[in-house]
A and B are shown apart, each in its own frame.
Chain A
């Protein structure tokens, strides 16, 4: 089945997400769709799978124009989407998730669970997608959940599969398995659209590549004719430097010492299991690992947001295991949280208000019970200039800034204080290349001025380019350590450790 998009334009109010996009997808082919976050990839694919209706343009299947009023129409036409954020019901079984919406039923509308399981098992055998139909989805690792998503699409007899950032949650080894599945599907005559912002992956798997920027297609070609550099330029619209320049590594005294740290999740399951680590001044320690191996709980415990169940945390010689969040702030720990929308800033507050969330009580900004807003605005204006936050004014709502500028605002607030240690969780997730470059630069600056930096990221490339020392976390423990200052680290070895092999 061939699909053609002709002149697709999609607007959300004033914002143009896609403009005059033309794109073809052919049977037996993997089309790589490359673009930064916010370039309009997901919008375009949501148009194709019937979730959004385009303002202009048309979709043709095998040359005939079609109109999708709902996702159900697109499914019926044979188009299936595997969403970046999985569309699975965690408390349902694999089979229930797969058949949802097209359930086999018997008398009295009774759900035929046995038939559902059998059909799921048949598909999983046919395409080599191994999974037990009767387990609850919430108990499965993300790599397997993704297989469930793919089975779900195949169960609906889809000929076109759209895969939205499918590798974001996978380990390097899982990515290899996943690519094997994609190739098998392609060879079975399916048309696939592979959406990503990762250059190496798209060159590896695609038969044809289209690049999208600012809602338009800015380049197309075959992987053989393209290099990562040319692709990156098409994606960003200017020359990009991949190299991070760092001064030589010269660690100082130990700043943060974590001994036998144990942290529990909300349901009392062990999230961090007797973990040990040390961060020295003047070094960046990167924690690699697949999401969900206790990284979030570790950050929360170190920053005082989650109770420590066992072990000790020492900072600059003082025991801070049970210290309050504010005490940690004052001792000089900066925290760049994982989710800027949820815990990094208050979207409805202004830029100035967000800038002093941690210091408003300070003598500089408060006199008695009243806040001196002019001082706050002054300080915010300084920080905004210093950290290149692009905002119409310090009185604009933080929520109206772009993702990159929101994150720069968080970084500005945290690093403009006098700090000794920065703890950063996924500091560049979902940002444009420019903002990523900038935030990396500031983190390295912090390190060069003698701060310690503890960075957690699920993007291995980010860790490889920044960290002086790399720790790999798996099931709540540090399972491997790599010295990145000495020379290049073997990516394969890290990948194995991320999958738990070194443990």
Chain B
């Protein structure tokens, strides 16, 4: 029989988790206040969301949301979530509440911005997918190299090199050749990074920065000096969207996933293949062992250096493919520094996605959403200045990486060179 005296004494422990819960609560309450006092007052009428386009095979009716009631309900729900954090102290609910809260806040923002206007939801989701591609591929390149414990800061440079090479070779020899060349140049830079950090044991961050600066300098020089004069060198064909029969006709999802170009399909396939490789095959198991405990891998006869070379080179090829998106997948021409930090956001997606290919893709979609959101909001002419809207993807990055991820665990040997003797 257990009496009260036998039970272990329960005292309140001062853990870091409670403080996190309180911070999350404060953020949620602040969002509620924002919705209540900024968005809700002026919102009269309703916001119309278009779920299909005139050309779609299966048209859906437009979705009309009455603005004022929606915003007040959203504010109330946010306040409830926030209060719950203070009263219940969070626990594993903290991340969930915060994610839900941000989702609601974003919906409220959309409703507020679209009040009295019509807004194409399908178009925005399609743009989300497109804009997520370079980030997802950058993140995937990060996953592939960090899983073998090589920190790959050079992804930004690899994307840029891929974009540049894609434009140049694409202009001269056609789109497919341009794509192949972009993948090859990415692989080359991956190999160079591997050589610097594996064989010559150069600091991984510095090696990555060196590659970034080198690519940025070289491509900027060529594009400003050569492309300005010989414009035909910077006029590549663009891969058009290919609609997949049947699947492409599904409302909302169809345009997002199945009416896209080769880069979107390629990214989805690569994520699937990488997941299979890392978690279901023999060589994936070995690669992960190299990233977690290279010495153990070595004692079992796994060649640590070769594994790192191969994975980092493949990571470079993935980034090169992602780079070609900027030119061959979008505008057909190269501009100085056109990757705009997508490689670094890709690294953030990798961390947010917990070093898992699917996670990185999901995180990239969040960033892609922020990116397309700012674009659409600029079109809707909200009172927010467009410069602030353009910051949205980067603000999303900071919020996500600093606040939402909690304690993601990197491969144990990440960033450390392996010295045999």
Do these two chains interact? yes
**B289 contacts chain A at the CB level, 8 A cutoff:** yes
Smallest CB gap from A268: residue in B: B15
Q: Are B281 and A100 in contact (CB under 8 A)?
A: no
Interface residues of B in 258-298 (CB under 8 A from A): 276, 280-286, 288-289, 292-293, 295-298
**A126 contacts chain B at the CB level, 8 A cutoff:** no
Interface residues of B in 1-58 (CB under 8 A from A): 8-9, 11-17
Seen from chain A, the residues whose Cβ lies within 8 Å of a Cβ on chain B are 12, 49, 51-52, 70-72, 75, 81, 83, 87-92, 96, 100-103, 105, 108-111, 260, 262, 264, 267-268, 274, 307-311
Q: Can you add 16 more A-B contacts, CB < 8 Å, to A262-B13, A274-B8, A274-B9?
A: A71-B299, A83-B299, A88-B293, A89-B288, A89-B293, A89-B296, A90-B293, A92-B289, A92-B292, A100-B300, A101-B286, A101-B302, A108-B281, A109-B283, A260-B9, A309-B14
21 A-B interface contacts by CB (under 8 A):
A51-B299, A52-B421, A70-B301, A71-B299, A87-B296, A89-B288, A90-B412, A91-B412, A92-B288, A96-B285, A100-B286, A100-B289, A100-B300, A101-B297, A101-B301, A264-B13, A267-B407, A268-B17, A274-B11, A307-B14, A309-B13
Q: Are A310 and B12 in contact (CB under 8 A)?
A: yes
Q: Are B295 and A268 in contact (CB under 8 A)?
A: no
Contact pick for B11, options A51, A100, A310, CB 8 Å: A310
Q: Are A100 and B295 in contact (CB under 8 A)?
A: no
Q: Which residues of A lie under 8 Å from residue B16 when comparing CB positions?
A: 268
Q: Which residues of A lie under 8 Å from residue B11 when comparing CB positions?
A: 260, 262, 274, 310-311
Contact pick for B301, options A52, A71, A96, CB 8 Å: A71
The smallest C-beta distance from B409 to any residue of chain A, in angstroms, reads 8
Contact pick for A105, options B14, B281, B412, CB 8 Å: B281
The smallest C-beta distance from B397 to any residue of chain A, in angstroms, reads 25
Complex Cα–Cα for A109 and B13 (A): 49
The smallest C-beta distance from A120 to any residue of chain B, in angstroms, reads 15
Q: Are B289 and A89 in contact (CB under 8 A)?
A: yes
Smallest CB gap from B284: residue in A: A111
Q: Are A111 and B285 in contact (CB under 8 A)?
A: yes
The smallest C-beta distance from A76 to any residue of chain B, in angstroms, reads 8
Q: Which residues of A lie under 8 Å from residue B286 when comparing CB positions?
A: 100-101
Contact pick for B15, options A49, A52, A309, CB 8 Å: A309
Most buried by B among A81, A92, A311: A92
Seen from chain B, the residues whose Cβ lies within 8 Å of a Cβ on chain A are 8-9, 11-17, 276, 280-286, 288-289, 292-293, 295-302, 407, 409, 412, 421
Q: Which residues of A lie under 8 Å from residue B421 when comparing CB positions?
A: 12, 52
Smallest CB gap from A86: residue in B: B296
The smallest C-beta distance from A386 to any residue of chain B, in angstroms, reads 38
Smallest CB gap from B279: residue in A: A111
The smallest C-beta distance from B411 to any residue of chain A, in angstroms, reads 9
Most buried by B among A12, A102, A111, A260: A111
The smallest C-beta distance from A85 to any residue of chain B, in angstroms, reads 8
Shortest beta-carbon contacts, A-B, top 4: A72-B301, A101-B300, A87-B296, A109-B281
Most buried by B among A49, A89, A309, A311: A89
- Total number of residue pairs linking A and B with CB closer than 8 Å: 91
Q: Are B301 and A75 in contact (CB under 8 A)?
A: yes
Complex Cα–Cα for A12 and B281 (A): 38
Q: Which residues of A lie under 8 Å from residue B302 when comparing CB positions?
A: 100-101
Q: Are A310 and B14 in contact (CB under 8 A)?
A: yes
Complex Cα–Cα for A72 and B289 (A): 16
Smallest CB gap from B13: residue in A: A309
Contact pick for A103, options B285, B292, B295, CB 8 Å: B285
Complex Cα–Cα for A260 and B14 (A): 14
Query: In the complex where A83-B299, A267-B407 touch, is A100 in contact with B285 (Cβ < 8 A)?
Result: yes
Q: Which residues of A lie under 8 Å from residue B17 when comparing CB positions?
A: 268
Q: Which residues of B lie under 8 Å from residue A108 when comparing CB positions?
A: 276, 281
Complex Cα–Cα for A109 and B285 (A): 11
Most buried by A among B283, B289, B301: B301
Smallest CB gap from B300: residue in A: A101
The smallest C-beta distance from B414 to any residue of chain A, in angstroms, reads 13
Q: Which residues of A lie under 8 Å from residue B297 when comparing CB positions?
A: 100-101
Complex Cα–Cα for A307 and B19 (A): 14
Q: Which residues of B lie under 8 Å from residue A100 when comparing CB positions?
A: 285-286, 289, 296-297, 300, 302
Q: Which residues of A lie under 8 Å from residue B282 when comparing CB positions?
A: 103, 105, 109, 111
Smallest CB gap from B421: residue in A: A52
Smallest CB gap from B291: residue in A: A89
Complex Cα–Cα for A72 and B302 (A): 8
Complex Cα–Cα for A150 and B352 (A): 37
Smallest CB gap from A49: residue in B: B299
Q: Are A87 and B299 in contact (CB under 8 A)?
A: yes
The smallest C-beta distance from B275 to any residue of chain A, in angstroms, reads 13
Complex Cα–Cα for A103 and B287 (A): 13
Complex Cα–Cα for A274 and B282 (A): 46
Complex Cα–Cα for A72 and B12 (A): 53
Q: Are B296 and A88 in contact (CB under 8 A)?
A: yes
Most buried by B among A109, A262, A274: A109
The smallest C-beta distance from A54 to any residue of chain B, in angstroms, reads 12
Q: Are A310 and B13 in contact (CB under 8 A)?
A: yes
The smallest C-beta distance from B143 to any residue of chain A, in angstroms, reads 15
Q: Which residues of A lie under 8 Å from residue B298 when comparing CB positions?
A: 51, 71
Smallest CB gap from A72: residue in B: B301
The smallest C-beta distance from A154 to any residue of chain B, in angstroms, reads 14
Q: Are B280 and A111 in contact (CB under 8 A)?
A: yes
Q: Are A110 and B280 in contact (CB under 8 A)?
A: yes
Query: In the complex where A83-B299, A101-B302, A110-B280 touch, is A89 in contact with B292 (Cβ < 8 A)?
Result: yes
Q: Which residues of B lie under 8 Å from residue A81 when comparing CB positions?
A: 299
The smallest C-beta distance from A225 to any residue of chain B, in angstroms, reads 35
Q: Which residues of A lie under 8 Å from residue B15 when comparing CB positions?
A: 264, 268, 309
Q: Which residues of A lie under 8 Å from residue B283 when comparing CB positions?
A: 109
Q: Which residues of B lie under 8 Å from residue A88 when comparing CB positions?
A: 293, 296
Complex Cα–Cα for A113 and B23 (A): 43
The smallest C-beta distance from B340 to any residue of chain A, in angstroms, reads 35
Complex Cα–Cα for A90 and B282 (A): 18
Complex Cα–Cα for A92 and B289 (A): 8
The smallest C-beta distance from B245 to any residue of chain A, in angstroms, reads 28
Complex Cα–Cα for A355 and B343 (A): 46
Q: Which residues of B lie under 8 Å from residue A89 when comparing CB positions?
A: 288-289, 292-293, 296
Q: Are A90 and B292 in contact (CB under 8 A)?
A: yes
Q: Which residues of B lie under 8 Å from residue A311 when comparing CB positions?
A: 11
